[in-house]
Amino acid sequence: MSTRPVYLDYAAATPTDPRVIEEMVKCLSIDGTFANPHAKDHVYGWQAAEVVEQNRERVAALIGVSPLEITFTSGATESNNLALLGLYQALKARGDPRCHIVTDRIEHKSVLECCEALEKEGCRVTYLTPRKDGSIDTQLLAEALEPDTFLVSIAQANSVLGTVSDVHALAALCKSKGIFFHTDTAQSAGYVQTDFEHSDVTMATLTSEKICGPKGVGALYVKRSAAVPLAPLISGGGQERGLRGGTVPTHQIAGMGKAFEIMQQEGRQDAERIAALRLKLEQGLRELPGIIFNGSAASRVPGILSVSFEGVDGHMLLPSLPGIAASTGSACASDDLKPSYVLKAIGHSDSLARASLRLSLGRWTTQEEIERALLEIQTVIPRLQQAGSMWNVKQGT
Ligand SMILES: *Cc1c(COP(=O)(O)O)cnc(C)c1O
């Protein structure tokens, strides 16, 4: 059997848990709950609808909210679009004149590109610069709020650095000024204990694929008591209480629900095991000369380790590590070698940002794999640094 490289890219996608696959399969064939959950006229439809509602409860339970507050979507990207664009459109339709948004420079592209789209619609957007560790300062947010700010969107955990921001404190500040607060929890749900019922967060993006559920399904939590006006982005059929048209994919939702249930039952042990392995990796790397650990040492999700290597040519980094499947920054930016905008926003130069690795661990990462990865990085980095310094001598720099 050929050995595949050690998979250390869980922050980009996770393998689906076999227990999740088992539940999904039950929703597909003639003897299962394959029917349209909106078919009101027969038992097939009723049973499919029951599966959808049971899984809405599982999703809601992980974040401590009511299932009535959960709208299913095709993933975190769509949920972010619905939260930002849907809110703006609904407010505009009501004649609400507010048109200022606050977010930060290290959000996922799906938030940043929605903000750019809203700028074209005439909104103003303030992009906060995070602290060096990637967290967002409440005082900085306070200073950025304006009388016509209607929305603040800040992720709970950053997908490149793993840093967790205190979204509840940020949301409380917004609530005191009548501003809606949205957070993307794609990297944190299940790993960071979150009770949104007792939080001022008004909308939260959830996804399945980062916690061992299938891709292509997610949800948006919308706090009922906050009376958030939202316009659907996809119309037709009136599904999801009119917020998201299209036949609800029972198998996807069953998979997401099971993944969320597993996180609720096992997330804590999973997080402890993953954090211990990450710590082992971190300790092994600490001895390398010129290594920089990015992100927060204390406030973080367990599985993400972002490191930069001084004196290494970033173009050489991943090609020199064939035994490791990791990312140089974020999946969306890694087809060309543009330096990660996240690492640049925390102050790295282009070359240091390029010479960076995001190593992300998950449910099936083993001790043996960490040892294997560690050995390869420990062997390769000093060589690359040596090559880098020879190159610099030749260039006369
Ligand atoms: C992965 C990710 C997304 C995109 O999720 P999809 O479900 O694939 O759309 C959005 N935000 C963050 C923070 C992510 O990590």
The model's pLDDT over 11-70, given as tens digits with 9 standing for 90+, comes to 999 999 999 999 999 999 999 999 999 999 999 999 999 999 999 999 999 999 999 999
- Atom of ligand 1 minimally distant from the CA of 208: 7
- Atom of ligand 1 minimally distant from the CA of 107: 13
Positions of CATH 3.40.640.10 in the chain: 18-263
What count of residues does the chain have?
Answer: 397
* Radius of gyration of the chain, Cα coordinates, nearest whole angstrom: 22
Rounded (10°) angle between helices 43-62 and 250-286: 30
**Is the entire prediction scored with pTM above 0.85?**
yes
CA–centroid distance, 326 to ligand 1, in Å, is: 17
Q: What is the pLDDT of residue 2?
A: 62
Structure tokens at 43: 């038992």
- pLDDT for 362-394, tens place per residue? 999 999 999 999 999 999 999 999 987 766 655
Q: Which of 207, 301, 342 to mutate to test the pocket of ligand 1 (most atoms within 8 A of CB)?
A: 207
| Atom 2, ligand 1: residue with shortest CA distance | 186
Amino acid making up residue 113: E
Handedness of CA 108, 232, 203, 88 (dihedral sign): positive
What are the mean pLDDT values of the chain's consecutive 10-residue runs (397 residues total)? 87 98 98 95 97 98 98 98 98 97 98 98 97 97 98 98 97 98 97 94 98 98 97 92 94 98 96 98 96 96 97 93 87 66 96 96 98 97 87 55
Phi then psi for residue 277, to 5 deg, are -70, -40
CB contact at 8 A, 100 and 123? yes
Query: CA-CA distances (angstroms) from residue 181 to 87, 132, 150, 246, 318?
Result: 11, 23, 9, 27, 38
CB contact at 8 A, 313 and 384? yes
CA–centroid distance, 252 to ligand 1, in Å, is: 16
CATH architecture of 6-12+267-389: Alpha-Beta Complex (3.90)
Identify the residues whose C-beta falls under 6 Å from ligand 1. Answer: 75-77, 108, 110, 155, 159, 184, 186-187, 207, 209-210, 218
CB contact at 8 A, 190 and 62? yes
Instruction: Indicate the fold that domain 18-263 takes in CATH.
Output: Aspartate Aminotransferase; domain 2 (3.40.640)
CA–centroid distance, 396 to ligand 1, in Å, is: 43
Positions of CATH 3.90.1150.10 in the chain: 6-12+267-389
Q: Which of 16, 80, 110 to mutate to test the pocket of ligand 1 (most atoms within 8 A of CB)?
A: 110
Is 332 assigned a catalytic role? Answer: yes
CB contact at 8 A, 303 and 191? yes
- Atom of ligand 1 minimally distant from the CA of 210: 1
Amino acid making up residue 120: K
- Atom of ligand 1 minimally distant from the CA of 77: 9
Q: What is the pLDDT of residue 336?
A: 62
Q: What is the pLDDT of residue 108?
A: 97
